[in-house]
Structure 1
């Protein structure tokens, strides 16, 4: 545990553990496997590195600034991306914007998604409803006031969406079919091929193509729906949303697939909430 705690943020390979502790490969794999099984360590399914797990982190509460350690968070996102088959990211609020802390792509992912670490989207409706779903009426009105209309009115639609997020535990960002096709076309552009002036305009355009969430009554298990992202909140020790874990399909999904991915994100978010010593408010 001391070796993992003092190791690099991205974790350690089993071969590095063998070398540093002078263990046999069989012994190292047995020890690491036991630590993973009991939650004392986690193994990133993409880079195969080991890092501190939720059991240790929950006991140690070694969390700086209300965010989980980077190595643990990346492993959670890697597992999400591998299980769901889409990119997974962690988003926080900073200086009035939704900021992507990290994003992980699943193996052989072919659909470009213009999201990257440190990307920022304005924290205005329809973006970020999961961050205010458990907030007071005043905080929800303040969020609504950031919309272009600026009237601060929490419309019946927004009120219904926030209630749905609290009930099911995750957001489902709707995406129109024309928007989905346009996003795919825009996604063909590599950001390094764009000028500094065009790059932020492209990001803003991609953000504008999405609209506020689906309500449960608008979805059936066999229906097919264009979805931008799904997200579930991570709560801190005060019961406030510290960050969201996000999966980025940006394509049509069945209602059953939406529910499956949504619940998978919720489970991942609950694990990170545990590490933060947080709780979901009633």
Structure 2
């Protein structure tokens, strides 16, 4: 691996010194896919200036070739470049999405994790009661959003996700602990439809246009978490209970068991408890079928 960029060595015909610096950064992080490096460490190891290192890493982060930890500000190997080595043809899942949209009468979409954001890969169907959602739309992976991505993660990962918005209140911490446990049990997350949700969600999508989760994004997410009831617990799903539901999402895991994508049904209406359970099961079944399709196994029978 290249651990030093020597400008004199790069003066050969056809060689671009700025490009070699980018390659050196990628090689450093790629050789340590589970490690994290601060900007100072990267610049010291590669003997490049801090200004140059900052420009390179900011650009790579914008394209999800590297990820920046919002707590430590350290950089690590990003999902976008990792996917180049193991590409996933999600267009093979088009039939699954269309079948789910037809069965649920909703718009559905397939999202992919890219660093600290979730990016919609493709959609199917329509939702007459909610906003039209298109491919490429980004939302931040910051608490309380993206619960289906962290519900199966290690406790320290869940804690970092929750505390990235600041120290949560004891009540919010208890609620999120119960919610993540319930998502692991039932297999899907439920987002309540409220005025606050619509306003905050719209603002968060705009703030995450560059792929970064900054302090403003974190504070807005925290305000939302403190002001609304997150998800739905079993004792709230009474036989006669009805709930205003925005979306229902289920995780898709890769070969290592990590959640890398999700399937979502955009409901945006009032539904009863039985309907929530049915939609959750349909979304979860589609997520499992996509997992099997990507892995090369036949999907389960409906």
When the two structures are superposed, what TM-score results if normalisation uses the length of structure 2?
Answer: 0.57
From 108, 115, 136, the equivalent of 1:88 is 108
Q: Does 1:200 align with 2:206?
A: yes
Query: For residues 83-130 of structure 1, what are the alpha-carbon distances to aligned partners after superposition, in whole Å with 9 as ceiling and x for unaligned?
Result: 101110011211311111112124xx4234242211111111110011
Contiguous gaps of at least 5 residues in structure 2? 1-82, 210-216, 298-302
Alignment partners' CA distance in 1, 2:179 and 2:270? 20
Q: For the structure 1 residues 93 and 225, does the alpha-carbon distance in structure 2 shift closer, same or farther, using more than 3 Å as the test?
A: same
Residue 143 of structure 1 corresponds to which residue in structure 2? 161
Give 1:30-179 correspondences, 5 Å limit: 68-106=88-126, 109-147=127-165, 149=166, 155-176=173-194, 178-179=195-196
Aligned residue in 2 for 1:270: 288
Q: Secondary structure at the match of 1:225?
A: strand
1:226 aligned residue = 244
Q: CA deviation at 1:213?
A: 1.1
- Per the alignment, do residues 65 and 126 of structure 1 end up closer, same or farther by CA in structure 2, a change over 3 Å counting? farther
Q: Tell me the distance in 2 between the aligned counterparts of 1:267 and 1:240.
A: 18
Structure of higher CA gyration radius: 2
Query: Residue by residue, what CA displacement relative to the aligned partner does 1:22-54 show, whole Å, maximum 9, x if unpaired?
Result: xxxxxxxxxxxxxxxxxxxxxxxxxxxxxxxxx
Q: Secondary structure at the match of 1:233?
A: strand
Instruction: State the alpha-carbon separation in 2 of the partners of residues 68 and 253 from structure 1.
Output: 34
Unaligned runs of 5+ in 1: 1-62, 188-196
Inter-CA distance 174–111: structure 2 relative to 1 (3 Å threshold): closer
Cα pair 2:110 2:263 within 8 Å, conserved: yes
CA RMSD of aligned residues (A): 3.5
Contact 2:100 2:282 in 1 (8 A): yes
Task: Summarize the Cα distance change of 1:242–1:200 in structure 2 as closer, same or farther, 3 Å threshold.
Answer: closer
Q: CA deviation at 1:151?
A: 6.0
